[in-house]
Structure 1
Amino acid sequence: MQERKQSKPSRSGNCAHCGGRVQTRTSRELHIHLRTVYLQCQGCGWKGVGELHIKHDLARPCVVNKEALLPLAPAAIFRESLKSAEA
C-alpha cells in the first residue's frame, strides 16, 4: 500500500463550500478496488479525504485477472444477455 503522488492533479468535481474546482492531490491504494483520495479546492482551499470504490464491471476485459473480477452491473448483464440471444 503505497502513496502515489500524481504529476498533474486530476479534476474531482466542485467544492460544496464555494463551487470551485476540487482536485485530487494524492491517492493511496487500500485494495485493488478501493483508494483513499486526498482532495483540495482550488477556490477556497478546503481540503478533505474521500474514497473511490469500484463496485461493478461494465464489460469483461480481454485479459482477465481473476482477483480483479467484479459482478457485472445490471445494465451490463442485460447487454450481455442481448448479445447471447443474437448469437
Structure 2
Amino acid sequence: MDLAMPLPAIAPFLIGLVTAPLAAKVAKPLVRGVVRASVGLVMEVRKAAAKAAEGISDLTAEATVDLTEPEPVKPKARKQSPGTSVSPN
C-alpha cells in the first residue's frame, strides 16, 4: 500500500476546511449587498412601470371619451353690422 496517494487529497481538503469560514464571512456581506441592490432596482422599475401604465390608461380613457362623445354643435356666428359691438357676457 502506498501512503503517498491520500496526501494529495488531504491538503486541499484541509485548506478548504480552514478557508471556508473565512470566505463565508467575506462573501455573505457581498452577496447581501448585491441582493439588496437588486431588490431596490426591481422596486424602482416596478414604480416606473406603474407610472407608465397609469399614463397609458389615462390616454386610453381620454381617447375613448373623444371617440364616443358626439361632436358638439357649434353655434353659427352672427354677422355684426359695422357700428355695433357685442359685449362679452
Q: TM-score range by the shorter chain?
A: under 0.3
* TM-score normalised by the chain length of structure 1: 0.26
State which structure, 1 or 2, has the greater radius of gyration over its C-alpha atoms. Answer: 2
Give the number of the structure whose residues are more often helix, by fraction: 2
